[in-house]
Structure 1
Amino acid sequence: MPRGRPRSFDVDAAVERAMDVFWSRGYHATALPDLLRATRLSRGSLYAAFGDKHSLFLRALDRYIADALARMDVEFDPRNDPVEGLQAYLVGYVERTSGSNGRRGCLLVATAMELAGGDADVGRRVAGFFKAMEAKVTDALSRAKAAGRLADGVEPATAARVLVCFVEGLRVVGKTAPARTTSQAAVDALIGRFVR
């Protein structure tokens, strides 16, 4: 029989609120009082539910990654035209990297820069996300190739690697809040080299 009182808070909501804090401040600049305020938990409840700051951060990062992969599953739905899926994927990045959306940046990119080289748990998650994204883009490009929609000489896996690097670069440049038209022009120039 479980001991103690049952949790009287929404764990998913607490993870999402913690994710927002980490996203805004970064891992190292986020202090326990920041997390307690955001999650509206006592120190004891936070530690009982999540263990420690690092464990809560990993849960928040997992949530961010799951949301991003779910979004890509919709964009790259194999029942839809693969070129339209690629365009939806890239338009999503244009939206997320322009103006005030862009200034917020990307939790994953910020985490990769801050922690991935020195934190094995984070490094595995970041690498796994990029690998999964690259696989989804490769699949869409392979379907486009099978449909005769890829430009001559474009190899799906190589083009996917380029596109992943490109969109993550957009996330970094997005911190300067470029105009939507600037990001869209870059997307149009690149995708025009890959698809017909």
Structure 2
Amino acid sequence: MSRQAPVQSLRGRPRSFDIEAAVERAMDVFWSRGYHATALPDLLRATKLSRGSLYAAFGDKHSLFLRALDRYIADALTRMDVELDPRKEPVAGLRAYLAGYVERASGANGRRGCLLVATAMELAGHDAEVGRRVAGFFKTMEARVADVLSRAEAAGRLADGVEPASAARILVCFVWGLRVVAKTAQTRITWQATADALLDRFFR
């Protein structure tokens, strides 16, 4: 549920706005332009906030970026929960998980790229808060994929010699490599065939 935040206007009268909507609009700007190329006027236009309101609500550009990155990560984890739902047969769940990434890496979405990948390349090496968030997300993703692979192993579906933790690391690396390489002109059919071929090596 969106939270309404009271913000003091220049005339001293309280004004409210939708915090989550402002974070989402800011996220779109950072996603399209990158952190360093995003200027305060870009954020003011996107969020429709005054400079005073933006600083009162979020502190500064970096704090707003962290809120936007947290929102992006939360959305990604929610999608993962749906795709890797433990009520699904594990192999079907992993196929849905990879198909979702193929879809998001295709067409206009693919050319836009992934905010997490772009952030990892731009900031994670020298921004501790960003690095912690990106590393935490990758670790969580790997653990969830490994859990599904362990369920596949218990069901007798894992191929001989496939170890869940190692296979999970390979799949996560494939997903993030896909988000980078798919910014080129490769087709959705190509990426789906590649994902299918990779999974076929892991299962009976």
Shared fold (TM-score, shorter chain, > 0.5):
yes
Match status 1:184 vs 2:192 = yes
Match status 1:10 vs 2:21 = no
User: Displacement of 1:6 after TM fit?
Assistant: 4.7
Corresponding residue for 1:163?
171
| Distance of aligned partners of 1:42 and 1:143 in 2 relative to their CA distance in 1, 3 Å threshold | same
| Distance of aligned partners of 1:12 and 1:3 in 2 relative to their CA distance in 1, 3 Å threshold | closer
Give the Cα–Cα distance (whole angstroms) in 1 for the partners of residues 70 and 91 of structure 2: 28
Taking the TM superposition and a 5 Å limit, the aligned residue runs for 1:1-196 are 4=8, 6-196=14-204
Contact 2:31 2:114 in 1 (8 A): yes
* CA deviation vs aligned residue, 1:138-157 (integer Å, no higher than 9, x gap): 00000011001111110000
Number of aligned residue pairs: give it.
195
User: Displacement of 1:99 after TM fit?
Assistant: 1.7
Consecutive unaligned residues of structure 1, counting only runs of 5 or more, are none
* CA deviation vs aligned residue, 1:84-135 (integer Å, no higher than 9, x gap): 1100000001101112111010000000000000000000000000000001
Larger proportion of helix: 1
| Distance of aligned partners of 1:23 and 1:3 in 2 relative to their CA distance in 1, 3 Å threshold | closer
User: Displacement of 1:3 after TM fit?
Assistant: 9.4
- Partner amino acid, structure 2, of 1:63: R
Seq. identity, %: 83
Give the Cα–Cα distance (whole angstroms) in 2 for the partners of residues 90 and 40 of structure 1: 36
SS at match of 1:8: strand
Tell me how large the CA RMSD over aligned residues is.
Answer: 1.3
SS at match of 1:116: coil
Corresponding residue for 2:3?
none
User: Displacement of 1:7 after TM fit?
Assistant: 4.7
- Partner amino acid, structure 2, of 1:9: F
Larger proportion of strand: 2
Query: After the TM superposition, which segments of 4 or more aligned residues of structure 1 sit over 2 Å from their partners?
Result: 2-7
- Partner amino acid, structure 1, of 2:138: F
TM-score normalized with structure 2 length: 0.93
TM-score normalized with structure 1 length: 0.96
Give the Cα–Cα distance (whole angstroms) in 1 for the partners of residues 156 and 185 of structure 2: 36
| Distance of aligned partners of 1:136 and 1:3 in 2 relative to their CA distance in 1, 3 Å threshold | closer
Consecutive unaligned residues of structure 2, counting only runs of 5 or more, are 1-5
Give the Cα–Cα distance (whole angstroms) in 2 for the partners of residues 164 and 77 of structure 1: 17
